[in-house]
A and B are shown apart, each in its own frame.
Chain A
Amino acid sequence: MAKVRGRGIAAVNYPTGMNLGGDPSQALIFCQPTGNFSVKLASTDLGQGLKTAIAQIAAETLGASLDTIIVDTGDTDSAPHCMGTFASRGTHRIGNAVIMAAREARQALLDIAAEELEAVPEDLVAANGEIYVKGSPHRKISIPEVAGAAHFKYGRTISGRGIFLKPLSKVDPETGACDPDSTEAHATTVADVEVDTETGEVTVLRLASAYEVGQQVNPEMVNGQIIGGAVMGMAHALMESVFPYYPSLDHHPGSFSEYLIPTALDVPEIESVVLEYPSSNGPYGVKGVGEMTANSPIPAIVNAIYDAVGVWITDLPVTPEKVLRALEEKEAYGSAGSRRNQ
């Protein structure tokens, strides 16, 4: 009986935004008479928390308090175009569109506030639902007061339109030259595994990762992507296949007991650190994080298996059977490579 431990690392990049561009998203913002802002989008929240992130970006740009931001999304009759939620583009593209719309709305807000405060708009600051004169914070007016005045005294709108588009580019068919991203996020994962040399089972003990994702909008939601992605990556590495005997179609799984994903008991120790190097073109320096987190654990685990038992399993998923066969082959024919017992 032998359980052998090993460590592997992997360092990856991930592009933000739809490959080659050409993927616009729009946002409309209007202020209600009571000072709430309705953010109109046709975007989709898949569970990653887009609605929350967008509300934060809108509140930040408008200087409004978060609870006055109403993100109304998901209806083509009431909101302008959004290309969709994929390609780590949501927060980047929609966030940029929202900033543009929110700036326009904020300008309208400041223009009216300036008249009410008898100041010039350039001297005003909007923060936490209030507008005040730079240097004299006592000269202030609340956003609901400005909104009321805009509607009932001046007859003016407080609204904004925003769009973000990275123009469509082409691939040069001869050289492959292309512009395939808006920015790049990065990650390095260290995987510690234990390999049972009798059964070929691989247990992931720990996934420790460093991510660089630009400015985080909501660190807990980033963390949610990190943990969820780590577990999905581990499952890709060790468990999952639509065709277990690929390329054969045989034994095509159709249920949760044939196609296994991890249960709560299969989750390893997960640790992470997040670095923030704001991107030049993301909203407040954002980069996309959702997709990348599932990627680095996969090669890190495969490399850790090599570190443990000296076999390369280069055909995913790494089933116990593949490990056992590789170990037997190594035993029979010998093979180069280090082996570390712990």
Chain B
Amino acid sequence: MNTLTDTLTVTFKLNSKPVALAVPPLTTLRSALREHLHLHATKAGCGQGGCGSCTVLVNGEPTLSCLLPVALVEGQEVTTLEGISSYGSLHPLQEAFYEHFAAQCGYCTSGMILTAKALLERNPHPSREEIAEALSGNMCRCTGYLPIVEAIEDAARKMEEGQ
């Protein structure tokens, strides 16, 4: 059992690299990423679990980092948008979002791309309906979603061709 007072230490795998940090006990994964590790791709959109802007992957599954105390990812694998491509290159989903004008203000984009990544890993050939369903926890006020859905369709096609 862990009894943690004032600050706790947590170690986990972040974008395939081990990381350790000491934070106040109830610090969320979102705050840990943004304020302690200074990875800013993950956005703070609501803190309520309602908008999906803070979505990251925990063990490959879309997770709301604003609602998850970082202490609970001890030993787990966390992927953020920073972790899906290296500097100067783009993941096929990033490429497709760029090509399809699927990011306008860009605030929901990180959550959208990571949610889509988890979807395509589970279901490489999703229908439009399945894509839209997978995105139903990720809100966007700018695009009207269609460019995002089209980008994901396109990325799925290209990822298959690339294999």
Which residue numbers of A lie inside 8 Å of B, CB to CB? 46-49, 220-221, 223-224, 227-232, 255-257, 261-265, 267, 270
- Which of chain B's residues have a CB closer than 8 A to the CB of A224? 101, 104, 142-143, 147
A-B contact pairs, 12 of them (CB 8 A): A48-B142, A228-B141, A228-B143, A229-B144, A231-B145, A232-B144, A256-B51, A264-B131, A264-B135, A264-B138, A264-B149, A267-B145
Bound together, the chains give a CA A65 to CA B38 distance in angstroms of 35
- Inter-chain contact A221/B51, CB cutoff 8 Å: no
A261-B139, A264-B149, A267-B132 known; A255-B46 Cβ under 8 A = yes
- Which of chain A's residues have a CB closer than 8 A to the CB of B141? 228, 232, 261
Bound together, the chains give a CA A261 to CA B46 distance in angstroms of 14
Of chain B, the residue at the smallest CB distance from A226 is B144
B105 at the interface (CB under 8 A from A): yes
Shortest distance between the CB of A49 and any CB in chain B (Å): 7
Bound together, the chains give a CA A197 to CA B48 distance in angstroms of 34
- Which of chain B's residues have a CB closer than 8 A to the CB of A232? 141, 144
Bound together, the chains give a CA A46 to CA B50 distance in angstroms of 22
- Which of chain A's residues have a CB closer than 8 A to the CB of B136? 263-265
- Which of chain B's residues have a CB closer than 8 A to the CB of A221? 101
- Inter-chain contact B50/A256, CB cutoff 8 Å: yes
- Which of chain A's residues have a CB closer than 8 A to the CB of B147? 224, 227
Bound together, the chains give a CA A317 to CA B132 distance in angstroms of 24
A256-B51, A257-B50 known; A267-B144 Cβ under 8 A = yes
Contacting A256 at CB < 8 Å: which of B46, B143, B148?
B46
B146 at the interface (CB under 8 A from A): yes
B133 at the interface (CB under 8 A from A): yes
Of chain A, the residue at the smallest CB distance from B146 is A227
- Inter-chain contact A263/B46, CB cutoff 8 Å: no
Shortest distance between the CB of B55 and any CB in chain A (Å): 14
Bound together, the chains give a CA A48 to CA B141 distance in angstroms of 11
B60 at the interface (CB under 8 A from A): no
A255-B46, A264-B131, A265-B132 known; A48-B146 Cβ under 8 A = no
A255-B46, A270-B146 known; A265-B105 Cβ under 8 A = no
B106 at the interface (CB under 8 A from A): yes
- Which of chain A's residues have a CB closer than 8 A to the CB of B148? 264
Contacting A47 at CB < 8 Å: which of B139, B142, B145?
B142
Bound together, the chains give a CA A49 to CA B147 distance in angstroms of 15
Bound together, the chains give a CA A47 to CA B51 distance in angstroms of 18
A256-B51, A261-B139, A263-B132 known; A228-B144 Cβ under 8 A = yes
Instruction: Give 9 A-B pairs besides A223-B101, A256-B50, A263-B145 with Cβ atoms closer than 8 angstroms.
Output: A47-B104, A227-B143, A232-B144, A256-B51, A264-B136, A267-B132, A267-B145, A267-B146, A270-B144
- Which of chain B's residues have a CB closer than 8 A to the CB of A257? 48, 50
Bound together, the chains give a CA A228 to CA B129 distance in angstroms of 19
Of chain A, the residue at the smallest CB distance from B51 is A256
Of chain B, the residue at the smallest CB distance from A46 is B105
- Inter-chain contact A231/B144, CB cutoff 8 Å: yes
Bound together, the chains give a CA A224 to CA B132 distance in angstroms of 18
Bound together, the chains give a CA A262 to CA B140 distance in angstroms of 9
Contacting A230 at CB < 8 Å: which of B104, B137, B144, B149?
B144
- Which of chain B's residues have a CB closer than 8 A to the CB of A262? 145
